[in-house]
Structure 1
Amino acid sequence: MTQVSLARRERGQERLQLPEEVGECYSERLALESDLILIRLRYRPCCDLREESVDPHGRPMLAITLGFEGRSGYQGGDGAELAFRAGFTTIAAFRSNRGERHYRAGETVSQLRLLVGEVTLTKYVGRERAKALLGNGGVRQLAFRKNTSLSQGHAAALSGHLGQPDPGLLDMHIHALSLLAEQLRLIGPSTPPPSRLGCRDIEMLERARDLMAERMNQPLTIPFLCAEVGLNEFKLKEGFRRHFNTTPHRMLHEMRMRKAHALLESGCQVAQVAYRVGYRHPSNFSTAFSRFFGRAPKAVFAGRRG
């Protein structure tokens, strides 16, 4: 385990670098506000590395981490585990906490992390939701999902500014808040209770949800989803209940109905929409749509034409 780092500060930016014998391992940090902090990390250790992590903030923080390259892990002193992976966004809430960050020998890890404190969160989402997001202590994983193209764009802009002589603080502030806003929308209006699901389980559940969105025109079944993502039927259903607070059937039905509404508004005819969202018989689709929205699909299509 290594704890020694070298620091260089310039124009409000701070660079922390591990000794050269450990490998190319450094992070750059910039506080846009006291409660809005940006960190860019790039590690390529020569050997497996366990780095002690001590929260220096002493207050509740929300951490949004976008993985660009490689993978790493975090294990808290309370046993909590977090996974960071290229192409995925990890959102976690924590208070003062000790733990370890784990990196593999010879693997390049590149990440961008946005830390948001309670004051900033309260300013934008209100005190009640800020407290719900941050929780009462320890480390809680709130989300682990694929990076969106919008998030990647904001993260790339922020990463490009960091380390520059003139980082362009106004632009960075705009991108940071835009990234925060998108991730809070994806989490939803309320935060789910702490989940005992492992990172791998969550990844497979997210994949099942993605499959529903990608293949809703097909006759998806529980056995098919289980086979595709590698979960048995009990774990899939229980995982949906815990992680999404719904059932696979209900989520697929809602996806189909909302997709159908958007297609009707774009000018697609009812029969075309029915087939595109997985209904073989337009009459069955019309019945399901009317029950879900309280109006017939022809009314949405006619309204669009008018």
Structure 2
Amino acid sequence: MSTAAGVRQHSARDLQAYGRRYGIDYRVPALASREEEPVVRGEVRELSLGQGMELVASDVEVLHRYDSHSHAPSPLSIVVMLEGCADVSLEGRTLTLTPGMALSLRLDARHGLRATQPAGQRLRALTLSLSETRLAELGPAQPGHDGSRMHAWRPPSSLLQGLEQALTTPLPAPAQRLLFEGLGLQLAAFGLPQDTLDDANASRLPPREQRRLERVRAALEDDPAAEHSLSALAELAAMSPASLRRKFRAAFGMSVFDYLRDCRLGLAHDYLSRGFSVQQAAHFCGYRHATNFATAFRRRYGVPPSSLTNAT
């Protein structure tokens, strides 16, 4: 994937070249034999912040769904989703990254992160990677960190605003590097292993509770347009509403109703892609007001729902 100024389209071949540098396998299901066709269109910047810190900033339109599977170990990587969404999974645990979320990752050589980026969205994301040496400088070594770990969390709004401003403010290269280095250190401060990745290990629930939570998740996915209540879902899980709120977030990285919203928007995306109107899609996926639906859809996918109907 080229980062040269003016290069706006990235093909499956470009993704593969990028993946060889970073230890990631890319797959574009719709373009199995057309490696030169664009997969994403936009800008990807790779910034070396020095002292074992690397930053990749992406602002692209996803033209075709693509999947990725990392196979290189990483002491600590932090992904921040600013716009759009991605489904990620690691060692059987799956969650959806949505705007304003961050994901802290420690990856070994055996278990890599799998991710899927849906088509028809604007995707703006940052990935900060720290070397083992740099990580050791930032904090004491933590015992028991063998294996891969991931933890979803929400950076403070002030940090998200700082990242947004850094991405949109033109600065000379040395000043930009210093600005991103400072923001990268703030991200690392919130995403260091002792603060986050241990929590991910602690959030692994007993199999019986995990199965109960899976029943709730299945109910949301099977009928996202229904009027789901927390009390009814808690009864389905044989838990109190407070326990369901806490354990669902621990298991899936988001609240029950954030998950329901994502299910509804995914269903709406499917309706729009099949030619239904914005009003119809909003109604069929459980939204009473098309304006609220349009706002939520744009926040997740980075484009208005009307852009899909105009494309059909």
Q: Quickly say closer, same or farther: Cα 1:241–1:24, change in 2 above 3 A.
A: closer
Query: Equivalent residue for 2:139?
Result: 125
For 2:131 and 2:235, the matched residues in 1 are separated by 37
List per-residue Cα deviations over 1:253-273 (Å, max 9, x = no partner): xxxxxxxxxxxxxxxxxxxxx
Q: 2:45 aligns with which of 15, 28, 43?
A: 28
Maintained 8 Å contact 2:150/2:200: no
Maintained 8 Å contact 2:103/2:153: yes
Maintained 8 Å contact 2:104/2:197: no
Query: Equivalent residue for 1:108?
Result: 122
Query: Equivalent residue for 1:94?
Result: 107
TM-aligned CA deviation for residue 152 of structure 1: 0.6
For 2:130 and 2:170, the matched residues in 1 are separated by 17
TM-aligned CA deviation for residue 109 of structure 1: 1.3
- Long gaps (5+) in structure 2: 1-10, 19-34, 217-228, 251-312
For 1:225 and 1:186, the matched residues in 2 are separated by 32
Q: Quickly say closer, same or farther: Cα 1:48–1:60, change in 2 above 3 A.
A: closer
Q: 2:146 aligns with which of 136, 146, 171?
A: 136
- With normalisation by structure 2, the TM-score equals 0.51
Q: Quickly say closer, same or farther: Cα 1:98–1:64, change in 2 above 3 A.
A: closer
Query: Equivalent residue for 2:160?
Result: 152
- Which amino acid in the other structure matches residue 38 of structure 1? L
Query: Secondary structure in 1 aligned to 2:146?
Result: coil
Q: Quickly say closer, same or farther: Cα 1:229–1:123, change in 2 above 3 A.
A: farther
TM-aligned CA deviation for residue 110 of structure 1: 0.9
Q: Quickly say closer, same or farther: Cα 1:122–1:231, change in 2 above 3 A.
A: farther
Q: Quickly say closer, same or farther: Cα 1:147–1:98, change in 2 above 3 A.
A: closer
Query: Equivalent residue for 1:247?
Result: none
Maintained 8 Å contact 1:60/1:93: yes
Summarize the alignment of residues 1-306 of structure 1 with structure 2, pairs less than 5 Å apart: 2=12, 4-5=14-15, 21-24=38-41, 26-55=43-72, 59-76=73-90, 78-96=91-109, 97-128=111-142, 131-132=143-144, 135-137=145-147, 139-142=148-151, 144-160=152-168, 165-184=173-192, 187=195, 191-193=199-201, 195-196=203-204, 226=231, 232-234=237-239, 237=243, 240=246
- With normalisation by structure 1, the TM-score equals 0.52
For 2:14 and 2:235, the matched residues in 1 are separated by 41
Larger Rg: 1
Q: Quickly say closer, same or farther: Cα 1:229–1:239, change in 2 above 3 A.
A: closer
For 1:178 and 1:68, the matched residues in 2 are separated by 16
List per-residue Cα deviations over 1:49-92 (Å, max 9, x = no partner): 2244443xxx432222221111012345x545453211222222
- Which amino acid in the other structure matches residue 177 of structure 2? L
Maintained 8 Å contact 1:2/1:50: no
- Which amino acid in the other structure matches residue 103 of structure 2? T
TM-aligned CA deviation for residue 163 of structure 1: 9.3
Q: Quickly say closer, same or farther: Cα 1:182–1:141, change in 2 above 3 A.
A: closer
Maintained 8 Å contact 1:140/1:194: no
For 1:75 and 1:192, the matched residues in 2 are separated by 13
Maintained 8 Å contact 1:226/1:233: no
- Which amino acid in the other structure matches residue 234 of structure 1? M
For 1:69 and 1:189, the matched residues in 2 are separated by 24
Maintained 8 Å contact 1:62/1:115: yes
TM-aligned CA deviation for residue 108 of structure 1: 1.3
List per-residue Cα deviations over 1:119-177 (Å, max 9, x = no partner): 2222121113xx55xx212x3222x2334212213322443479964453223222211
Maintained 8 Å contact 2:59/2:122: yes
Residue correspondences, number: 205
- Long gaps (5+) in structure 1: 9-17, 205-223, 245-306
- Which amino acid in the other structure matches residue 180 of structure 1? A
Maintained 8 Å contact 1:46/1:106: yes
Q: Quickly say closer, same or farther: Cα 1:83–1:27, change in 2 above 3 A.
A: farther
Q: Percent identity?
A: 17
Q: Quickly say closer, same or farther: Cα 1:165–1:122, change in 2 above 3 A.
A: closer
Considering Cα pairs closer than 8 Å and 6+ residues apart, tell me whether 1 or 2 has the greater RCO: 2
